[in-house]
Structure 1
């Protein structure tokens, strides 16, 4: 049986024509869903963003990441949220950070789009109790919880697997090469989505899409 975990590929390009080119390349390589990193665009304009989403015409996560969580959006918080809100009717998921104002998260969730409420820490991995608190808060506000942490040792990566084993509708990632295996193991815990690299690595430890797909389905013919 093929893995039910969807492979998402971030599209992190600064120009619209490059977004479309890379998106099509990733689709051809086997992506299940694309993450449109709107914050990577030089001059995010909603009219162009809408046209781009419609032209690509593929399952998509709209993400407009803030700088404190690894993003590049340079406008105001109101402008950032307004773009995500307008994208809600065009995409399958909207990713919005937990540190965003609850009012903004609720506003996007109330559109009916599936929301991924996310939290990233590029410095460390908290203790399991703290991670559990973060995930529970995310699930109270949205549909899917997402956490990504930087491990300092193997024990930190095991904390992420513990979260995956106990929390439904959760994307949990241990970053860097040390934690890259958690991206593959996500499918064993029925995580809805895992992230792989297309042309660009957008987070430490991402595995290229071809390798990820092979690893997720390597036991397909084990009983043949």
Structure 2
């Protein structure tokens, strides 16, 4: 039984030519989605960003990550969101951080584009109740909730799995080597998207595309099969 979880591959390049070449490589390797990390570009311009997505011509997540959540965008918040607004009719999804000003989020969510409302913590994994509250807020704003968290121990990774078990239409990732397995096992909780890499590592513990596809399509830890054997 093949996984329904889509594999997104982030592309973090500085110029148009490199971005399109990397996207083509990822598509050949079996990516289901391209995450275009706009903040990786040198001085991105809205029209150029739009042209890149059009030339890639493949389901794309437009992400322009803010510095406080691991991004590199150097302009104002208004400039950052204006670039994302230029992508809403050519991208499959737009990723916008929960911490973004409510009025700026609303400008994105009022369009017809599907949205991923995201939250990242590169230092820790907050308690489950706090994370559930974050996911609740995200789902009230957009189509898919996303949390990516740094574990300090194995128990923190189980907190991430608990989020997946409680919440539909949610991406929950435990980062780092200790949390890398959550990127694979999330398919058993019907996570809509997981993330792999080609040559660009944008978060600790990421897995390459080909390995991820093989792991997702193995019937390991199939809960339905396990239950039917008793």
- How would you bin the TM-score normalised by the shorter chain? over 0.9
2:95 counterpart residue number: 95
Q: Deviations over 1:160-216 (max 9, x none)?
A: 000001100000000000000000011000000000011111101100111000000
Runs of 4+ in 1 over 6 A off after TM superposition: none
Q: Identify unmatched segments of 5+ residues in structure 1.
A: none
Distance 2:47 2:84 in 1: 13
Distance 1:75 1:36 in 2: 18
With the length of structure 2 as denominator, give the TM-score of the two structures: 0.94
Cα offset, 1:49, TM superposition: 1.2
2:55 counterpart residue number: 55
What do you get for the CA RMSD once the two structures are aligned? 1.2
Q: Identify unmatched segments of 5+ residues in structure 2.
A: 226-230
With the length of structure 1 as denominator, give the TM-score of the two structures: 0.97
Cα offset, 1:107, TM superposition: 1.4
CA contact (8 A) 2:46 2:82 kept: no
Tell whether 2:109 aligns with 1:109: yes
2:42 counterpart residue number: 42
Q: Deviations over 1:139-167 (max 9, x none)?
A: 01111000010000000000000000110
Cα offset, 1:219, TM superposition: 2.1
SS of the residue 1:195 aligns to: strand
2:228 counterpart residue number: none
Distance 2:87 2:52 in 1: 11
2:147 counterpart residue number: 147
What are the residue-to-residue correspondences of 1:1-224 with 2, within 5 Å?
Answer: 1-219=1-219
Distance 2:114 2:138 in 1: 13
Q: How many residues align?
A: 222
